[in-house]
């Protein structure tokens, strides 16, 4: 099978984006892992699959597969890249919003005159069941005992699960050790993305994210939203926050409980290409 794709990225969080009209058009988990290899494949953090709309009033349905072949619910940087690609294909006007459906819910997107893309990522959900996370009741912070020591964190779903750990200095945070220990903790039955949050000022934070099924990425859109939601819930953050990640800056705006969180940042096309794959399988299955 020959797969045509577009290579895109949001602040270095990179993707292949391709179209599928049926299950047979999606490579197997094993093929996705092979393609994600940065030495012998294309190299990417996630594969984004565009499908025909499943819901009335939407422009596209998309699915997200991590570099390890696992399917996940949502991707903020990926949503911005998809919005850019779909709008470009359709020559959509800048003031015409796009409505995109995904396993993590419906996302509204707007292309701004300054070239950035804004997406509404839904209402942050702090209930443990939404992640899911095993806890007796919702709480502002939780405690985990891990092989690397005790960890305190806030938890929130942005259509996908996030644990946010506040640190003194993001650059020195133990991302490579604490990240996988929390990601794979048994109290997160579907694993979790792990953010390391440094608060610089009420409107400025630094963040590193260890993404489940990928490892640390240059940027994570839903991770930025989660960090601001958790930080704002605890009091110190403003309604609009600049989030500096290793790959660059994202802007997150969250008015507060019951309101959607908006993510704004760049979405770039690197190149278009095609690649031969051994065959397709049912999405997310091993081959």
Kind of pairing, strands 204-211 and 2-10? unpaired
Single out the residue of 234, 196, 188, 243 nearest to residue 77, CA to CA: 243
Q: Which of 3, 50, 60, 75 is catalytic?
A: 75
Q: Is the peptide bond before 132 cis (omega within 30 degrees of 0)?
A: yes
Name 205's bridge partners. 199, 243
Q: How far apart are CA 191 and CA 205, in angstroms?
A: 25
Query: CA 192 to CA 177: how far, in whole Å?
Result: 14
3-state secondary structure of 106: coil
First-to-last alpha carbon distance for the chain, in angstroms, is 15
- Set 220, 228, 230, 241: catalytic member: 220
Q: Are strands 60-66 and 46-51 parallel, antiparallel or unpaired?
A: antiparallel
Active site residue 220: yes
Residue 81 among the catalytic residues: no
Residues labelled as active-site residues: 75, 220
């Amino acid at each position: 099978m020959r797969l045509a794709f577009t290579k895109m990225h949001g602040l270095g969080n990179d993707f292949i984006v391709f179209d599928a009209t049926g299950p047979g058009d999606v490579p197997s988990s094993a093929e996705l892992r092979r393609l994600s290899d940065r030495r012998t494949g294309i190299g990417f953090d996630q594969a984004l699959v565009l499908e025909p709309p499943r819901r009335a009033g939407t422009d596209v349905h998309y699915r997200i597969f991590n570099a390890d072949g696992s399917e996940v619910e949502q991707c903020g940087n990926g949503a911005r890249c998809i919005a850019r690609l779909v709008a470009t294909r359709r020559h959509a006007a800048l003031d015409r919003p796009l409505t995109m459906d995904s396993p993590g819910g419906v996302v509204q997107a707007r292309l701004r005159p300054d070239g950035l893309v804004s997406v509404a990522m839904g209402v942050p959900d702090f209930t443990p069941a939404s992640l899911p996370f095993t806890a007796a009741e919702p709480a502002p912070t939780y405690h985990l005992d891990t092989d690397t020591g005790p960890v305190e964190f806030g938890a929130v779903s942005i259509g996908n699960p996030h644990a946010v750990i506040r640190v003194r200095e993001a650059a020195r945070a133990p991302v490579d050790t604490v990240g996988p220990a929390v990601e794979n903790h048994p109290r997160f039955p579907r694993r979790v993305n792990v953010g390391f949050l440094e608060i610089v000022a009420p409107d400025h934070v630094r963040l590193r994210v260890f993404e489940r099924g990928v490892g640390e990425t240059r940027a994570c859109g839903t991770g930025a939203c989660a960090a601001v939601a958790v930080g704002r819930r605890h009091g110190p953050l403003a309604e609009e926050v600049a989030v500096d990640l290793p790959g660059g800056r994202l802007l997150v705006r969250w008015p507060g409980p019951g309101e959607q969180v908006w993510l704004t940042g760049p979405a770039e096309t690197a190149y278009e290409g095609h690649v031969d794959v051994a065959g397709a399988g049912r999405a997310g299955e091993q081959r």
